[in-house]
Structure 1
Amino acid sequence: MDMTKTSTIKDAATVETGAVMIEPSATGRSYHVMHVALRLVCLSASIVSVVVMISAKEKSTLSLYGFDLPVYSKWSFSDSFDYLVGVSAAAAAHSLLQLVMTSRMLLNKCSIISSKKHAWLLFAGDQVFAYAMMSCASASSGVTNLNRTGIKHSSLPNFCKPLHSFCDRVALSIAFAYFGCFLLAMSSVLDVVWLSEN
């Protein structure tokens, strides 16, 4: 009798709060672990992308037609790099928010996705940030490629020869932005898997 009453009280509390208890199955646990891991790695990748980009600056000299010209480059001189920093920071904030919410739900022993509306919202958010990360990384790649090759049939030189440290940092930041895009895409795939099974 006591066990039946306890079970009824738990069921009533679950219905009243709208919480969904975590499934004891191995599939449910592995889904939760993968979701948290993806959020954590995506947060890390986005932060690294921002930190490496904002540390990209260098002074050097460029030899042009026998003249040594001082050159200085900084990430904020390019709108594309500004765009990458802004989007990567926003993606990091999105991942952090989702990670905090997920951790709180797991501590309360609830499912990390409470309803189909919640799953669709996560899917839309992950898609938006994945495309935004792809966009900013692509725009930054074009500028970086121009810096490395110069412009053919003109006197514009390869700026990455005297500014190799700057270009290497920018390239690393872009690589992490692409990696963050991939992780957000994988997260949206997990959202689709949850929707298909529930």
Structure 2
Amino acid sequence: MINIKKAQLYKTVFKPEELSETPYKEVAFVGRSNVGKSSLLNSIVKNYKLAKVSSSPGKTRSVNFYFVNDKFFIVDLPGYGFAKISKTEQERWRSLIEGYLKNRDKLKGVFLLVDSKVGPTDKDRMMKDWLVYYGIPFAVVATKIDKLKKQSEKATVEKRIREGLDLPKQFPIIKFSAKTNEGRVEVLKQIERFLE
């Protein structure tokens, strides 16, 4: 399993034309606004101040490149599906996300984050179909697993997400909590698999 010793913000990009190639491999986090991308990033690098976290959706408005162990990048993308911003800003985010995902030679894998309480949304399904269409390897992370109080909810969350995203039976879903660090090891192992 990969051991993260060092992580720092390398660059922040607001426009698709600023998305230059990096010399290192990359893994990216995508998901709807407020799904927990920045919290996941902070948890896996064990630095709870690295990526800005907010309870209000839409905090990440740029593509943020974090340089890890002087070897690879973790890329935090803006959340999609946030309604409380202008159509112009939504369009800018969409072109930024697509511009990043479509043209990256060094992108080795994407973590598609789904809120375990909400389940997959239409936009999550579109993102998954998009990743499949472009042949980008991806893993699915069920975030905020600690918010599921009933054992029955925890037992069925994988099935609900798998069916909601129309994934094969054997497709693994990583259950994750930034609060308890449940699933952190599985995410790190998956990063290692992507980078191999």
- TM-score where L is the length of structure 1: 0.22
Structure number, greater radius of gyration: 1
Greater RCO (Cα-Cα under 8 Å, separation 6 or more) = 1
- TM-score where L is the length of structure 2: 0.22
